[in-house]
Structure formats: structure tokens, C-alpha cells
Amino acid sequence: MVPVADAAPADAPRLYALVPSAGVGARAGADGPKQYRMVGTRSVLGHTLAALVRVDRLSAVLVALSPGDAQFARHTAEFDVSVAHCGGATRAQTVRNGLEVLLREHGARRDDWVLVHDAARCLLRPEWVDALIDACLADPVGGLLALPVADTLKAERDGRVASTLDRDAKWQAQTPQMFRIGQLMAALDRAGDTVTDEASAIETLGHAPKLVAASLENFKVTYPADFALAERLLRSRE
């Protein structure tokens, strides 16, 4: 990766990627954490990192692992990324801990940008990350990749439809999500450990993150059937 400082003034905000990868993959039905399940020739996390390391404007990619993770090196040795065994009990805790590592060990500043990306969104393309950076770099808040909802939405009660929801102006949040490090830390402290994405935390500060249209392919591998779909899509790219 080419350091941002080579193409911008030394005092310009830098960009870092943070990949929380401390989950156990309970919904995936996999034998062990889903980020290490093979999809074609690479693990799920390997595909994710292969995309991020091709984004030239990122100063570093930090992967936040669980304290007992012993599989990372075996699956991702080919990538020039940093690692911190700082995973918490929730995604929010893992991200918060990873931000501290960026400040403490990687020379990041509170006004630098961080792009938080789900390890399980393994079909990420570098051009999608660049599009997010282009859209948010001059924005006062930051934003996220997202997809307008096309399907009819139903609310459920006891296995039956309780109501039909208005899908107008509804978006499905994806990652990366790009915000200033210091502001995101404050937002996570305010939102608490149960918040499920960074944009939700930023909203608790009264800010409105920018929506940047993304691709349906940028889905999160979650359930057993998702792995086969991801593999088919990766083969189609080849």
C-alpha cells in the first residue's frame, strides 16, 4: 500500500481500515469462526483482506482478533496487515478496542479517518472502498456503503405477518463505514456495547451519516447457504 502522505500534505487526515474479526460465527453453522472458513482458494477473511490491501489510500489495515485466536497467521500470512488481539464480547467493544490500538500503536490521530469493515463481507471490491472515500473525505460527518431496500418488508409475530412496512427511503447498511477516529470513539462510548454498526453510534451524537450506494454483492456471509453463493460469485469474477 502507498502511504497517504506520499500523495497529500503531511498534516492531511490519514485513512485506516479496521476489521473486527473476533466473532465465533454462531449463525453460520461452520466448524469454528466463519471468517476462517474456506471460500474457494482463500478463507472468508483472506478474501476481505485481499481487497483492502489494494486500496492505495489506506495507511494501514488493522485486524482486531479475539485474545485466544490462533488461526489468523495460518489463513492470512500473505497479507501485509497489522494484528491486535483486542477483541471484546461484542462488535462494538472490539471496534472500540481497535481504535485505541490505532491511536496507541500506529500513530493515528483522533481526526484521522477509520473505515470499519466486516470480516464476513468477503466480496468487497477496492473500487467500492475508493467510492466511499471519495464521497466522505470532505464530509463533516462521514458515511457508509448501503443499498436501497427493494423488497417488500414484513413485520413478524409468532411466525406470521403482523404488518407490512413502508420500504420508501429504507436502506440496508453495509460496510465499510467511514468516520473520524475520535468522533467514533465518543459515539461508541455514548451508544454502549449493544450497538450493531458504527453509523448507529454516530447517530446517537445527533449526526446524519452519508449514504453511499453500494452493490448487492457486498453482502455479509452469515448463514450456511451464503458460503456457496459467495463462492459462485467469486468464480464468476475470475
Cα angle for residues 177, 215, 28 (degrees, 5° grid):
75
Residue 93 has pLDDT above 90, yes or no: yes
Cα separation, 134 vs 42, whole angstroms: 29
Tell me which amino acid residue 41 is: T
Q: How confident is the model at residue 237 (pLDDT cuts 50, 70, 90)?
A: confident
Asked if 91 and 12 count as a contact pair (C-beta separation under 8 A), the reply is no
pLDDT of the residue at 74 = 87
What pLDDT digit, counting tens, does each position of 48-82 carry?
Answer: 999 999 999 999 999 999 999 989 988 888 899 99
Residue that wins the pLDDT comparison between 139 and 5: 139
pTM of the model: 0.91
Asked if 120 and 222 count as a contact pair (C-beta separation under 8 A), the reply is yes
pLDDT of the residue at 11 = 80
pLDDT of the residue at 35 = 93
Q: Closest Cα partner for 198 from 92, 52, 76? A: 92
Q: How confident is the model at residue 33 (pLDDT cuts 50, 70, 90)?
A: confident
Q: Please give the domain boundaries of the chain with CATH numbers for all domains.
A: 4-237 (3.90.550.10)
